[in-house]
Structure 1
Amino acid sequence: MKNSKNIRACSLLFFLAFATTIFAQGRQTINFDANWQFTKGEIAGAEKPEFNDKSWRILNVPHDWSIEGPYDRDNPTARGGGYLPAGIGWYRKTFKVDAADANKLFSVEFDGVMANSDVWINGTHLGKRPYGYISFSYDLTPYLNFGKDKTNTIAVRADNTIQPASRYYTGAGIYRHVRLVAVNKTHFKHWGTQITTPNPTAKKAVVSIKTEIENKGAAGTYKLQIEVVDNTGKVLKASESQENIAANKITELFKEIEIINPKLWDIEAPHLYTVNTKLYSGKTLVDNQTITIGIRNAEFRADTGFWLNNKNYKIKGVCLHHDGGAVGAAVPLGVWKERLQKLKEVGVNGIRTSHNPVAPEFLDLCDQMGFVVMDETFDTWTAAKHNGEKGYNLYFKEWWEQDTKDMILRDRNHPSIVIYSIGNEIHDDLSYPEGYKKYKMQEDVVKKYDNTRPVTMALFRPNVSKVYDNGYAAQMEVVGQNYRENELIAAHEAHPEWKVIGTENTHVLNQWLALRDKPYMAGQFLWTGYDYLGEADWPETTNNQGLFDRAGNWKQQSLQRDSWWSAEPVVHIVRKSDNAGAGVWVSDWTPSDFDTYDNAKVNVYSNCEEVELFLNDKSLGSLKKPADDSPREWNVTFEEGTIKAIGKNNGKVVTQEEHTSAGKPAKIILTQSKGTLANNWDDVTFVTATIVDEKGIRCANADNLIKFSITDSGKIIAVDNGNIINHDGYQGQKTRAYQGKAIAIIKAAKDSGTISIKADVEGLTQEATTLSIDSDKK
């Protein structure tokens, strides 16, 4: 307890000193993630500042307490929530604000609290937000105590007791970042600035800035300064104007800045700019904000699909839930970066945020990496869904407008977002015109706050609901449909003026061909990019329809998709795991039983003109590329050794892949996704432990227990193996290998030095690896 008290005291002293020195001019944003007190269960009086929380656990947010487990078939979250715990969690944080800052306005910003959050400051209730995915803020100013001898206590109650609340895993607690923001009485309104770049070209672009200035003080004349800055820090253009700001009102200002020869934001080259807006009273900086933008022109056309900067693209997308596998819903940005990099390898260029607002930094990453995004609001409106009967449908009528508004205001400046979706497989009455009113009222709210992007929804079995015939779909800007691609094709061919997109699609060949062969099909979003927690029947805890598993391992469908979507030459060998075409597709040449495996059904996925297959250096023949992109098939009499596929274009070898039969497990090999870490919450590296034989061949059937250990300069935040029926916890330092592999997700715990990680398997040679800590990045 002594250490806990020291941490708490240091935190308060730091905050006090920080507040005293930085709140002199302009807007100040303070990371509010550190040193919260946490406990589970209903606690009477925990919102009161005098409540004694010394026995509570001290932690940093983001924090998802549900992922800490344990798994239990009887947990009320059931199949939707992946059989992980639900309930009530309390968080408290105490801080001081210097008396010199009593003229400032203070607010607290939450990027997401799961779920049904209530927030208090010094015992005063600030508000409730049922929707756990939405970002929100509260004004703290009227209730704060100022002065070095006075403290303030913020308390948060998060309640997901009522279950089943979702068809997929939600997490629990303050699972996204928190900030404390201080501004002057005259300031840029929260989410009040919208920046657009209408109809840009490579020769010229107009950056249009609409900003709202809120004044809770006296009227005055202010100088508004706007700068457009490129990614090297160079100011390309600046604007200055004198503005009369009325007292106790919100003043809306419009400015335009012309940029010559802009670098356009594109999937292939996602160039970004920043727009700095500053407000001065005389020479005093009153407020400032920086917004990242991309200059681009995106549109959907009825005959040719999606266009970006006058170039026709197919959106090759995936759907992603908000969990990060072993880390649950509290996902470090480094986890998303690792995942998006692998999706890029397969040729993915689009993300659908299924089926809710995501963390804002996830959208920042999509901006930076060149993904186009379908930004989605809700999985349900008023009608319940199976395994999520007590979800957002209970709150839609009261909260849909506020939640929709907040998502659009928060997200509208991201260049990656090219379309909004306001519902997924909605079970409400969709008749026309009565059933259409719910769609229209949501579309109107979206358009009120952002009229630069089209709106769609993911229609569910439209030929059953009759939306293609009753006038509903005809009113949609872009018609989106889940699965049943032939219905969408038929609908477009009957209504060629409709713009259409596949909002959810499986991995099978004919669904890819529906996109490849129909010019009007703007894109599709595969279900899903990664395996996700929940929506699984016990003993399974994870839905395994992803291109990659929870741990980031390639699967049969990602290997095949690579051959369809990659721009590089690709060749991948898979075989059926059991004899004579039985079992599942695997990517190795090590059957579980060599004695009974003699007839191997082999597929090769490739975009090459010709593929030749070899077994132990003996050619098994060559096959040309099928016109329909189907795999090339061989029936192979199994022999222990090496199977190899060679891809050729124009008669020349351009790529190859081989698998060799593994012997007995002999040692562990450790690999890392990157070798340097910064000591901050969002930076991670993935260390993969692979069990191999004496020649270094992966032992695909090994399931040994792997024990990780780490020096105190680092920490293991999660372990995983991707196995969908694994019920072990993710928070420890050991897990069983699955298909011969397991991962540990590592963070730095110090600001400098090195981190040593070891992996140990009983009877095998131990392996260690070292990471460096980047002291220049924190």
Structure 2
Amino acid sequence: MKPFLTAATAALILAAGLARPHAVAAETVQAAATAARERINIDKDWRFAYGHADDAEKDFRHGLRPFFFAKAGYGDGPANADFSDMAWRKVDLPHDWAVELPFDARGNTNHGSKAIGHPFPENSVGWYRKVIDIPASDKGRRIALEFDGVYRDSVVWVNGHYIGTEPSGYSGFRYDITDYLNYGGHNVIAVRADATTEEGWFYEGAGIYRHVWLTKTDALHVAQWGTFVRTTVDGAKARLDIDVTVDNDGKAPETFAIRQEVFAPDGRKVAEGETTQLTVKAVASGDFTSTVTVDQAQLWSLETPHLYRLRTTILTNGVVSDSYDTTFGIRTVVFDPDKGFFLNGKNLKLQGTNNHQDHAGVGVALPDGLQTWRLKQLKSYGVNTYRASHHPPTPELLDEADRLGMLVIDEHRMMGTTPEIRGQMERMIRRDRNHPSVIIWSLGNEEWALEWNELGTRLAVEMQADAKRLDPTRRTTVATSGSGQGVSLGADVIGFNYGAQHDVDAFHRAHPDKPAMMSEEGSTLTTRGIYFDDRAASHLNAYDRQGRPGNSLSIEEGWRRVQERPWMSGMVIWTGFDYRGETTPFGWPAISSQFGMTDTTGALKDTAWYLKSVWTQKPMVHILPHWNWAGREGQAIDVRVYSNGDTVELFQDGKSLGRQTLVKDSHLKWSVPYTPGKLTAKSYIDGKLVASNEVVTTTDPATVTLTPDTTNLKADGADISVVWVNVTDKAGRIVPVAGNRVNFETSGPIRVIGVGNGDPGSHEADRPAERHAYHALSGWRSLAINSLDGGPAVADTADTATWRDPTQWLPPEAQPPATKGLVLRGQFARPVLTPGGVITLYIDRLGEGQTVYINGVTVEPKTVDGALVVDVDPASLKDNNNLAYVFATPEGGVQGLYDRSVGATKWGTLRVTTPAAPWQRSVFNGWAQVIVQSTGQPGKATLKAVSDGLKPAVVAFTARSPS
């Protein structure tokens, strides 16, 4: 659902040079404050720093202030609105700090062995802060913060006031912050995320990894996710039953009208209706339903994903109070216990993949464009169903699934009926129930404590009833590893995880009224481009086979079993993409799973080519393995061919090795002695050549090549291009055994945001980032002086034993008389500096005429954002160092100076920066990937790839201003 923006608001946003009307920085919309509704993206320009999970001193003294959690507005450390974060790193959201961390043998291999979790308290807490301006004209409106997802256990403060806690790392959440804002002034948002505790058994990332929004509405408005369009198809017509929840946050009852307008995919208005004399009490909500009819309805389908738009307008005395847009589709979905799945009355098999949400290089902080790219990559080999395992997906993925024509199994995180768990499921369903791509709600996955007992049945039935109350149009499922008892009996549609673990036929006979699908199948273990096991390198051969005999089937076996059972709705493979963590069958040093049909970069494995042969219609043929086998001359190589033809002939250096007939949904196999040269496969249908493929022995690596999916970017700071990196020989053929390291450089308004190569054993950095360590200054002493000349007080040898402790409170009657000037002096030890490291001192302006001395020597600070910044020469430091400031005595004297200092943090922060490593990646079996993103400025840009001994590659990009 995308709330409506008025034309005036949109014009202001576009004039600001931003890409999308709903993705506008808060500072650009002050003149548009009278709009009925604004939804403003506030992803840009946050400050970030690592806190500490165990040590409050290292967590910026958070939680140590008296009355911290006893009194409103007493947020401390970074939660204090006056805390100085000038030394913190600037980041844009979405942001995943875990992907920036190194690999470590102490890390959990299920989470990709990243240096995060209980052994790493210094890496497991992250702080985010942002300042937004709220115009005075917004007073009287309702203003809310909306987070699409924070991993995890997040706490939010606004202007030092505690707002709320969200334990889930996957549920979107919203806080109305109207009452806490400074209208006509600055407002500070602080977020603390603690990723110490894991929520899943796979890489989950850390931080604010999804979008954040600021929503402004009238007091009378459509509630968050407050519309639901239920469609009923009747011949060429469709009836729309429209439910609307209206919130009245005002102090008086309201009488209003609701106008509903429906717009076709081409933008034409095709239906409308208005309901008047509706009422809702003060500080209450009301639910209202209306019905309209659409003639000549265009159905949403995989081939024609037609999308309609509903505009819901609330009018009070003829004046618009709110206008809210909802995207929806018209289609029918049926899970039949005898005939399987039907979309719009057409029987089809679910050709699905399970997917976690991380991607090589960026972790879980995927730009919207990468969501699109991944879905297209799945569709390229015939996938029509995406199971979001095992949690609700990001909203943008569902938006794109709607647009591209991809079915979605939308999954709740954990089974249960407590208020917290029920609330998370309700948020998922309310958020996602207008998406035509969503065909079923998955209420849980392999809940082992519930699969074999009556409690599981009870909880499944209760959760199903909750889901039906929220959405009576869809069925529910539970994915289970054990059937016949527990949750499988309470599930509406049974989801079998792995056919070898169930007697699916016996279950179907016992429960003939229960539809079924293979919610997980495969778990095959393959490494892209590897055809002989190399377990020392965590590499497994790419031939399709049972990954866990007795527990799962090969991809081919699984699909054939589904095809043989018309009552089975389809098969959802574990998984579409490799993902960080769950390194079966290895532990350290493996860091990625190998279940995927593609690797972590989305490069297709051979199993994806098998699926393409049985899931797509365009003629194709694919040979595996490659034909570079130096040292294996004369040895027989297992050669396999996938095709959707009916016969295939294989040639070696032009000589036929025989033509074979392809059994439906199967593959062909030859045993071929290796000699350098060429293998060619030709596919035929009814004797006619329809496709061919070849593999050739390459020569030595000669060139780096770059292949971007686009070279035209929107200059919005968010748009991306996914670039394949290959090493090729002189003939331009990818060298399938190449492992050359490639360095990347950019110029112009683009930046690299991630690199990867799909190697499950690689410990190269996906996303190198600078690391900051913060060193507190201590031993503060102050001295009142009668001039602004520090004199002997700033000397390196000055004795401060008799000076005042400025952190010590004195009653008013004990305060000394104010003098013209003040010396404030602290000390710090020499910080540990890595090669290339930088030491920087950040100081707030404490008083007029402020001068700075380090070890008695005057230094000249720079002024950055109104603060003083000193680049410290490491050669000037000693084991113990003193820092002195001289300035005019500020208002309130020493006591006032300390009261405003947030525990003396504004008096100075010493930051030690370890610079980021260069952007580089070794190709793995000839392949790697780099993701580039626009910086927000228009212009020409280049990406250059350089590798020792190889010809470099350069690709040009254009970043264009939004039109």
What is the TM-score when the length of structure 1 is the normalising length?
A: 0.90
From 188, 210, 232, the equivalent of 1:176 is 210
- Which of 481, 488, 507 is matched with 1:473 structurally? 488
* Equivalent in the alignment of 1:564: 614
Summarize the alignment of residues 592-607 of structure 1 with structure 2, pairs less than 5 Å apart.
593-596=630-633, 598-607=635-644
> 1:354-753 to 2 correspondence within 5 Å?
354-378=389-413, 380-381=414-415, 397=418, 399-431=420-452, 433-462=454-483, 466-467=484-485, 473-484=488-499, 487-506=503-522, 507-536=554-583, 537-575=587-625, 588-591=626-629, 593-596=630-633, 598-627=635-664, 629-732=665-768, 733-753=919-939
Aligned to 2:98: 66
- Three-state SS of the structure 2 residue aligned to 1:504 is strand
CA deviation after TM superposition for structure 1 residue 751, in Å: 3.5
Separation of aligned partners in 2, 1:669 and 1:34 = 33
Query: Which residue does the alignment assign to 2:285?
Result: 250
Q: 1:250-280: per-residue Cα shift (whole Å, max 9, x none)?
A: 2221111101111100112111011011112
Q: Is this contact kept in 2: 1:492–1:498, CA < 8 A?
A: yes
Q: Are the structure 2 counterparts of residues 490 and 567 from structure 1 closer, same or farther at C-alpha, using a change threshold of 3 Å?
A: farther
* Offset at residue 226 of structure 1 (A): 1.3
2:104–2:113 CA contact under 8 A, matched in 1: no
Q: 1:741 to 1:475 in 2, by over 3 A?
A: closer
Rounded to whole Å, the distance in 1 between the matches of 2:358 and 2:415 is 22
CA distance in 2, matches of 1:547, 1:434: 36
- Find out whether 1:756 has 2:963 as its counterpart: no
Residues 220 and 321 in structure 2, CA contact (< 8 A), matched pair in contact too: yes
5 Å-filtered alignment, 1:35-184, equals 35-41=45-51, 42-43=59-60, 44=62, 45-75=77-107, 77-86=108-117, 87-147=124-184, 150-162=185-197, 164-184=198-218
1:407 aligns to what SS in structure 2?
helix
Instruction: Tell me whether 714-723 or 238-247 shows the greater mean CA deviation.
Output: 238-247
Q: In the TM superposition, what whole-angstrom CA distance separates every residue of 1:457-480 from its partner, at most 9, and x where no partner exists?
A: 111132xxx41xx7x534431111
Distance change (3 Å), C-alpha of 1:373 and 1:479: same
Deviates more, 1:594-603 or 1:124-133: 594-603
Distance 2:135 2:601 in 1: 46
* Deviation readout 1:349-398 (Å, 9 max, x if unpaired): 001100001101111111111111111112x548xxxxxxxxxxxxx856
Flag the 1:429–1:222 CA change in 2: closer, same or farther, 3 A.
closer
| Deviation for aligned residue 1:556 | 1.7
Where do residues 336-351 of structure 1 align in structure 2 (5 Å cutoff)? 336-351=371-386
2:860 counterpart residue number: none
State the distance in 2 between where 1:524 and 1:667 align.
41
Distance 2:945 2:327 in 1: 42
- Residue 828 of structure 2 is matched in structure 1 by none
The number of residue pairs the alignment matches comes to: 727
Tell me which residue corresponds to 1:7: none
* CA distance in 1 between partners of 2:672 and 2:754 (Å): 40
Once residues 431 and 277 of structure 2 are traced to their aligned partners in structure 1, the CA distance between those partners, rounded to angstroms, is 25
- Matching residue's letter, 1:47: A
User: 1:6-39: per-residue Cα shift (whole Å, max 9, x none)?
Assistant: xxxx99xx96763431121311111111111111
- What is the CA distance between 1:192 and its match in structure 2? 1.7
Mapped contact 1:679–1:747 kept (Cα < 8 A): no
Deviation of 1:167 after TM superposition, in Å, equals 0.6
Coordinate RMSD, CA, aligned? 1.9
Determine the C-alpha separation between the residues in 2 that align with 1:286 and 1:597.
Answer: 79
The question of whether the paired residues in 1 share the 8 Å contact of 2:112 and 2:592 is answered with no
- Alignment correspondent of 1:23: 33
Secondary structure in 1 aligned to 2:400? helix
1:532 aligned partner, one-letter code:
Y
- Would you say the 8 A contact 1:83–1:534 is kept in 2? no
Which segment is superposed worse, 494-503 or 345-354?
494-503
Letter in 1 for 2:614: W
The 1-side partners of 2:138 and 2:748 are apart by: 39
Return the offset for 1:153.
0.9
Contact 2:109 2:591 in 1 (8 A): no
Counterpart selection for 1:197 from 231, 247, 250 = 231
The alpha-carbon deviation at position 754 of structure 1 amounts to 2.1
After TM superposition, the structure 1 stretch with the greater mean CA deviation from structure 2, 641-650 or 493-502, is: 493-502
Label 1:414 to 1:640 Cα distance change in 2 as closer, same or farther (>3 A): same
Would you say the 8 A contact 1:748–1:755 is kept in 2?
A: no
Alignment partners' CA distance in 2, 1:334 and 1:189: 28
The amino acid that maps onto 1:478 is V
Tell me how far apart the structure 1 counterparts of residues 700 and 383 of structure 2 sit (CA, whole Å).
Answer: 37
1:241 and 2:275 correspond: yes
CA separation in 2, counterparts of 1:17 and 1:612?
65
User: How far apart are residue 342 of structure 1 and its match?
Assistant: 1.7
Measured against aligned partners, the alpha-carbon deviations of 1:455-508 in whole angstroms (never above 9, x if no partner) come to: 11111132xxx41xx7x5344311111002561233113432221111101143
Letter matched to residue 266 of structure 2: T
Which structure's CA Rg is the greater one? 2
Query: Is the Cα–Cα contact under 8 Å of residues 170 and 329 in structure 1 kept in the other structure?
Result: yes
Identity in percent:
33
| 1:273-311 alpha-carbon deviations (Å, 9 max, x no partner) | 110111122343210111100000101001101011111
Contact 1:82 1:535 in 2 (8 A): no
Distance (Å, rounded) in 2 between the aligned partners of 1:730 and 1:338 = 19
CA distance in structure 1 between the partners assigned to 2:130 and 2:424 by the alignment: 26
Pair 1:769–1:632, CA change in 2 (3 A): same
Q: Which amino acid counterpart does residue 632 of structure 1 have in structure 2?
A: L
- Residue identity in the other structure for 2:268: K
Letter aligned with residue 157 of structure 1: R
- The match for 1:213 is 246
Give the residue type in structure 2 aligned to 1:742. A
Query: Could you list the runs of 5+ residues in structure 2 that have no partner in the other structure?
Result: 1-16, 19-23, 52-58, 63-76, 118-123, 523-553, 769-918
Point out the more displaced range, 251-260 or 102-111.
Answer: 251-260
Partner of 2:265: 231
What corresponds to 1:325 in structure 2? 360
Does the CA contact (< 8 Å) of 1:185 and 1:215 recur in 2?
Answer: yes
Inter-partner Cα distance in structure 2 for 1:128 and 1:412: 25
Q: How far apart, CA to CA, are the structure 1 residues paired with 2:695 and 2:260? A: 58
Cα-to-partner distance string for 1:64-93 (whole Å, 9 max, x where unaligned):
000001111113x44334434241101111
State the 1:610 CA deviation: 0.7
Task: Give SS of 2:157's match.
Answer: strand
Q: Residue type matched to 2:296 in 1?
A: N
Q: Which moved more, 1:683-692 or 1:643-652?
A: 683-692
